[in-house]
Chains A and B, each alone.
Chain A
Amino acid sequence: MSLGVPRRAHIVATALLVVAGLAAACDSGPINPNNIGWVTTLVDSAAPALQNARTFAVPDTIVALNGGTFNHAQDKAIAAVVRGHFLQLGWVERKDTTGTKPDVVIVMGTNTRTEVGISYADWFPSYGWIPYWGTPADPSWVWGAPAGAIAYVYEVGTLVMTMVDLRAPRETTKRVPVLWVAAVNGVLGDNPVLPRVLTGIDQAFVQSPYLRIP
């Protein structure tokens, strides 16, 4: 039997096919910017503090984190939608900043650089700004992540909604008592596309059924 060119051609063709197959099989994940609008929520849903909370407040300002800047034109519209969701779930809003404090406050921020995890150091100045807060927070405070929280990568422009328990001791523990976090990834920028933002907010509440007041 002749083993010249045909055998070698077959082997080379096989090698090329296998290498091409491997290269194709090592495809990377979806990186199309249109695919980035995903939503994560983190919660310790069994925590008594969340189960007992009934009243809330939502400031109208979205904080620009990481020392960056952000177009605030849509802040009130976004805050109104978040507020509407909580009302729909049976919560009671406390607008009065001088009387009885709400049980929780939902602070919103957007990061201006990619972040991993939920420890946003630049939140701390904003806690001093929240009218119900009391003692200003500083970077020596600890971010109180929900138990078992999983770290995610948050793209630039992620809207982060954070429910902070105002009933928990803060000054002594220097711990930001977080009950719930929702992140709508990469939807806010210089010119936020409001429908996309609102769709993400809606999804955050859809996947957080434990927020409903029984």
Chain B
Amino acid sequence: MTTRRWLLLTQLLIGLFIALLTALRAGAQQALAEPSNFMSLTTFELSLPLGDTKRYVTGGLGPGLGWEGRWTVNSHSSAGVSLSVAGFQRHTQNTIDFPSGAATGDQLRQLLPVQALATGYVFPIQANGVRWYAGGGVGGGHVDQDFSLGTQQVSRSAWHLVIAPEIGAEVRGGPDHLFVGVVSLRYNAPIAAGNYLGGGARNFQYLTLRVGIGEE
């Protein structure tokens, strides 16, 4: 990993650490005040590239991981924070034509979007143990773009404002319904920014299927 990536990873870990502290604090508060109003959720994600993401890494799904904390506001809404990371990559052997030449060979294109969002959801439908919800998140995201040709790597990155609408469902089970399963679709729509490969700002969008497990 490059120094810049280590810096990014450090920033992510600091963010994660703060989120965990927040979660622990909320858990401690929760232990003192029943009923619970906090849910910690781990999500396993698969993302479909769209827009500029699709143009850069054509085809394939990107795996990802996330953590989310949700605080119950009332019986029909919640608010929280969401941290997630996704990875897209594409391996090709194409020829790339430039204005003044061309290059052929083993190429690896990678995108590593990470996001920290403030989230809010409403639960308009609650039936048969399933809570359907709609909402989303707003926050910041960082995209790391890498292009490798042979042993040569070129990287770009930028911060983006991210808007991420989401729909999904929660299912509860286990003792006292403490365990939660979540399935959702999130449309990650960062605002175009940066100066990426090929020149200019990019808007690396993707649609994410999130499957989460958590406890309350």
A89 to chain B, nearest CB (A): 16
**B1 → A minimal CB distance (Å):** 5
Q: Does A42 contact B (CB under 8 A)?
A: yes
- Would B85 and A42 count as touching, CB distance under 8 A? no
Chain A positions within 8 Å of B36 at CB level:
1
Contact size range, A? 35 or more
Tell whether B99 is near chain A: CB-to-CB under 8 Å.
yes
What are the residues of chain A within 8 A of B30 when measuring CB–CB? 1, 3
Contact of B151 among A17, A36, A40, A206 (CB under 8 A): A36
Q: How far is the CA of A1 from the CA of B32 in the complex (A)?
A: 9
**B150 on the interface (CB 8 Å rule)?**
yes
Given known A1-B35, A24-B87, contact A43–B100 (CB-CB < 8 A): yes
A13 to B149, CA, bound (A): 36
Contact assessment for B216 and A29 in the assembled complex, using a CB-CB cutoff below 8 Å:
no
Name the distance in Å between B16's Cβ and chain A's nearest Cβ.
6
- Interface flag for B110 (CB, 8 Å): yes
Q: Interface of A with B (CB < 8 Å)?
A: 1, 3, 6-8, 10-11, 13-15, 17-19, 21-31, 35-45, 146-150, 152-153, 155, 181, 185-186, 203, 206-208
The docked-state distance in angstroms from the alpha carbon of A22 to that of B63 is 11
Question: Chain A residues near B5 (CB, 8 Å)?
Answer: 26
A24, A30, A150, A206 pick with most chain B CB within 10 angstroms: A30
The answer to the question of B201 belonging to the interface, with a C-beta cut-off of 8 Å to chain A, is: no
A45 contacts which chain B residues (CB < 8 A)? 100
- Asked whether B24 is an interface residue with its Cβ less than 8 Å from the other chain, the reply is yes
Q: Which chain B residues lie closer than 8 Å to A150 at the CB level?
A: 98, 100-101
| Distance in angstroms between the alpha carbons of A132 and B84 in the assembled complex | 63
Chain A minimum-CB-distance residue to B111: A25
**For residue A26, which residues in chain B have a CB less than 8 angstroms away from its CB?**
1, 5, 9, 112
B215 contacts partner chain A, Cβ-Cβ < 8 Å:
yes
A181 to chain B, nearest CB (A): 8
Contact A10 B106 (CB under 8 A): no
Q: Is the CB of B104 within 8 A of A18?
A: no
In the complex, B214 has a CB within 8 A of chain A: yes
List A contacts of B176 (CB < 8 A).
Answer: 1
Residue contact B101 to A42, C-beta cutoff 8 Å:
yes
Alpha-carbon gap, A1 to B38, bound state (A): 11
Contact residues in B for A22 (Cβ distance below 8 Å): 9, 12-13, 85, 114
Of chain A, the residue at the smallest CB distance from B114 is A22
Q: Contacts A1-B176, A25-B112 hold; do A40 and B40 have CB atoms under 8 A apart?
A: no
Complex: chain A residue closest to B91, CB-CB = A30
Which of B31, B146, B152 is packed against the most chain A CB atoms within 10 Å?
Answer: B152
